Chain A
Amino acid sequence: MLQLVLFNVFNGLIVGAFYALMALGLSLIVNLSGVINFAHGGFLALGAYIAYSLMPWVGFWGALMVAPVLTAVVGLAVERVLIRRVYGRDPLYSLLLTFGLAYILEDATRYIWGAQSLPYPIPGALAQPLSTQFFFLTGYRLFMVALVGLAVAGLFFVLGRTRLGIRIRAGTLDLETVSALGVNVRVLRNLNFGLGIYLAGLAGVLAAGMLGLQPTIGTSLIMPSFVAIVVGGLGSLPGTLFGGLLIGVASGLATVFVPSASEAIIYVMMGLVLLVRPRGLLGEEGRLK
């Protein structure tokens, strides 16, 4: 029993790491630009498929490094051409725009790479189970958690220590002042969007190795990411990270005890959090808007 619980807690942690990676990207964008990027799941799928196409040329490790960057470049272009136009307008329009974009991305993925699911080969060394005695765990899963940890550490380093990151954080608090101080806000928002999409692309490549490739791979991950943001705390990136891991573990545990509720439980958690603490567990006061 303990074995089963441990296994599912760890599994939940992996899933939670995905949610967190997605949700961090979404949070970055919503905090600075007020746009809920519904197409985030589409970008995740795009990252996965780009990696798949690159792999014959650059191998697993090359694809892992290049694909998220290429996805981010697509993100930068999309922000420049489309997303930029809805800044400052009613959130309704950004939602509808990215909603339409999500449709287009999913359809485009299906058109280019086909509707059937594709296998995503991972290096033999990572595919080995680490220990069959205690509980089943492949090296790939451990590797994924480590990589997500690295990406998150990298993100917090960028936000905390670099000029760009400090500007992003300042812009989140007061964009007008940042603009008045001579920072090019258009470029800032563009780069911030690209950063968020980079995380989505990375999540996509990692998810491909675990789940294989399907055009709908992103759609199934985006709703829990919303939940992660709300549970963790509106406007707080550490909160988002915490929220992602928490709901991942919760749904992992639910798999043991009430398997049929493993998806629904995270929404129940969201309801509870909203009931007792509407701003989220680590959310800042006055960020309900």
Chain B
Amino acid sequence: MTRLQSLGPTALLWLVLVTMPFWINAIGGYTELASRVIVMALAATALNFLLGYTGTLSFGHAAYFGLGAYGVGMTLKYLLPSTMLAMLVGVVVGTVAAAAIGALIVRLRGVYFAMVTIAFGQVFYFIAFRWNNVTGGDDGLTGWQRQPIDLAGLRLDIQNHDTLFYYLALACFAASAGAMALLLNSPFGRTLQAIRENERRARFLGIAVERHLWLSFVISCAFVSLAGTLYALLNNFTDPRALRWDLSGNFVIMAVLGGMRSFWGPLIGAAIFVVLQDYVSSHTENWMSIVGLIFVLVVLFFPRGVLGLLRLGGRNS
């Protein structure tokens, strides 16, 4: 829908993303920050698949993000030193958990749906926190590293080249965004939007609402866990904070900040949020207040987000 409205901005967006490692240092950033933006953008875009298009509010997506992260760490540490396999395991673990929990919660709506997603997110946090000897507990899972990828005779040494890892993350983001856009433009995606606009009418039309909600929840979580695997690979580390509720809240604010009714909104929101958080947390101890203030200000003054604001301005003039 909004994706193909104009190719100009989209092309510009990709130009910015593809060239980012070359200029980010010049403006005071660093390659890892660029990678973090991409990873968070993937998570926020995946959340928005649910939030913006299905109209269902999940406040517990960090759980699946974190499961992806732990899946990667534990595979690389205990199983096999293969980055690809680790990512696969991470995504499968996250998706399976989402499928099970999704089945329990699709009958709830609105605030209660949100409440239950938050609460369920905590299970995995406690497991990661308590299961010390396997997950490393509060100190996190260390003692493993992302491994070079061998792809059809080509060796991608992401272990030693941060820029190469950035492009791996960007490729994952591009593929995922493409897949999600395709899904949203398919009859399946239209059905989700119909449910968002009027659930009762959709039900009368014979649409299996619960099954669609469940599917969109699982798809969204699958992409979030992919983001989680990349996050773990980026840091060569993961800890229970990758599963905690505050991260779920951050995903939501990224989507809203950028504009949850537009496909690229979460990307913009993630970029703003990640850069701002990086800046604020290195300049003041009271970064929590500033981040909290961002939440409050966005809700009160920019509920449509940056892209919503731009589009509104553009249309009205």
Closest to B123 in A: A267
- Besides the contacts A101-B292, A278-B108, what 11 more A-B pairs have beta carbons closer than 8 Å? A34-B110, A91-B110, A92-B51, A95-B114, A103-B288, A104-B289, A226-B118, A230-B112, A270-B119, A274-B104, A289-B110
Note all chain B residues with C-beta closer than 8 A to A34.
110-111
Q: Which of A26-68 contact B (CB under 8 A)?
A: 30, 34-36
Note all chain B residues with C-beta closer than 8 A to A230.
112, 115-116, 119
Docked CA distance A73–B51 (Å): 35
The answer to the question of A186 belonging to the interface, with a C-beta cut-off of 8 Å to chain B, is no
Docked CA distance A227–B118 (Å): 10
Q: Could you give 15 example pairs across A and B, Cβ below 8 Å? A: A82-B296, A92-B114, A92-B256, A95-B111, A96-B249, A100-B293, A100-B299, A101-B292, A106-B288, A107-B289, A234-B112, A270-B116, A271-B101, A271-B104, A274-B104
The answer to the question of A118 belonging to the interface, with a C-beta cut-off of 8 Å to chain B, is no
Q: Of A93, A99, A271, A289, which is in contact with the most chain B CB atoms at under 10 Å from its CB? A: A99
The answer to the question of B105 belonging to the interface, with a C-beta cut-off of 8 Å to chain A, is yes
Q: Are A111 and B286 in contact (CB under 8 A)?
A: yes
Interface 9-mer from B9-17, B124-132, B154-162 = B124-132
Query: How many residues on chain B are close to A (CB under 8 Å)?
Result: 43
The answer to the question of B76 belonging to the interface, with a C-beta cut-off of 8 Å to chain A, is no
Tell me whether A289 and B115 are in contact in the complex, defined as CB-CB below 8 angstroms, given that A92-B256, A93-B303, A96-B298 are known contacts. Answer: no
Q: Are B256 and A103 in contact (CB under 8 A)?
A: no
Closest to B292 in A: A103
Docked CA distance A103–B294 (Å): 10
Q: Which of A68-106 contact B (CB under 8 A)?
A: 82, 85-86, 89-97, 99-104, 106
* Residues of A that sit less than 8 Å from B by CB: 30, 34-36, 82, 85-86, 89-97, 99-104, 106-108, 110-111, 223, 226-227, 229-230, 234, 260-261, 263-264, 267-268, 270-271, 274-275, 278, 288-289
Note all chain B residues with C-beta closer than 8 A to A106.
288
Q: Are B130 and A91 in contact (CB under 8 A)?
A: no
The answer to the question of B222 belonging to the interface, with a C-beta cut-off of 8 Å to chain A, is no
Q: Are A102 and B292 in contact (CB under 8 A)?
A: yes
Note all chain A residues with C-beta closer than 8 A to B289.
103-104, 107-108, 111
The number of inter-chain residue pairs (CB within 8 angstroms) is 130
Docked CA distance A275–B256 (Å): 31
Q: Are A263 and B126 in contact (CB under 8 A)?
A: yes
Docked CA distance A101–B291 (Å): 10
Docked CA distance A27–B1 (Å): 39
Q: Are B295 and A85 in contact (CB under 8 A)?
A: no
Closest to B57 in A: A92
CB distance from A265 to the nearest CB of B (A): 10
Q: Are B295 and A100 in contact (CB under 8 A)?
A: yes
Closest to B260 in A: A92
Q: Are B108 and A288 in contact (CB under 8 A)?
A: yes
Docked CA distance A89–B112 (Å): 15
Q: Are A36 and B292 in contact (CB under 8 A)?
A: no
The answer to the question of B4 belonging to the interface, with a C-beta cut-off of 8 Å to chain A, is no
Q: Are B59 and A104 in contact (CB under 8 A)?
A: no
CB distance from B125 to the nearest CB of A (A): 9
Q: Of A96, A234, A264, A270, which is in contact with the most chain B CB atoms at under 10 Å from its CB? A: A96
Docked CA distance A108–B288 (Å): 9
Note all chain A residues with C-beta closer than 8 A to B120.
267, 270-271
* Residues of B that sit less than 8 Å from A by CB: 51, 57, 59, 101, 104-105, 107-112, 114-116, 118-120, 122-123, 126-127, 130-131, 245-246, 249, 252-253, 256, 286, 288-289, 291-296, 298-300, 303
Note all chain A residues with C-beta closer than 8 A to B256.
92, 96
Docked CA distance A270–B117 (Å): 11
CB distance from A240 to the nearest CB of B (A): 12
CB distance from A261 to the nearest CB of B (A): 8
CB distance from B107 to the nearest CB of A (A): 5
Q: Are B294 and A100 in contact (CB under 8 A)?
A: yes
Docked CA distance A30–B116 (Å): 14
Note all chain A residues with C-beta closer than 8 A to B110.
34, 91, 289
Closest to B112 in A: A234
Q: Are B105 and A274 in contact (CB under 8 A)?
A: yes
Closest to B101 in A: A271
Note all chain B residues with C-beta closer than 8 A to A82.
296, 300
Tell me whether A91 and B298 are in contact in the complex, defined as CB-CB below 8 angstroms, given that A107-B288, A270-B120, A288-B108 are known contacts. Answer: no
Q: Are A104 and B293 in contact (CB under 8 A)?
A: yes
CB distance from B301 to the nearest CB of A (A): 10
CB distance from A96 to the nearest CB of B (A): 5
Note all chain A residues with C-beta closer than 8 A to B123.
264, 267-268
Tell me whether A260 and B115 are in contact in the complex, defined as CB-CB below 8 angstroms, given that A101-B296, A104-B289, A104-B296 are known contacts. Answer: no
Q: Are B119 and A86 in contact (CB under 8 A)?
A: no
Tell me whether A103 and B119 are in contact in the complex, defined as CB-CB below 8 angstroms, given that A260-B130, A278-B108 are known contacts. Answer: no
Q: Among the listed A91, A99, A268, A275, which residue makes an inter-chain contact with B111, where contact means beta carbons less than 8 Å apart?
A: A91
Tell me whether A223 and B119 are in contact in the complex, defined as CB-CB below 8 angstroms, given that A271-B104, A289-B109 are known contacts. Answer: yes
CB distance from B270 to the nearest CB of A (A): 15
CB distance from B214 to the nearest CB of A (A): 13
Q: Are B59 and A95 in contact (CB under 8 A)?
A: yes
Note all chain B residues with C-beta closer than 8 A to A234.
112
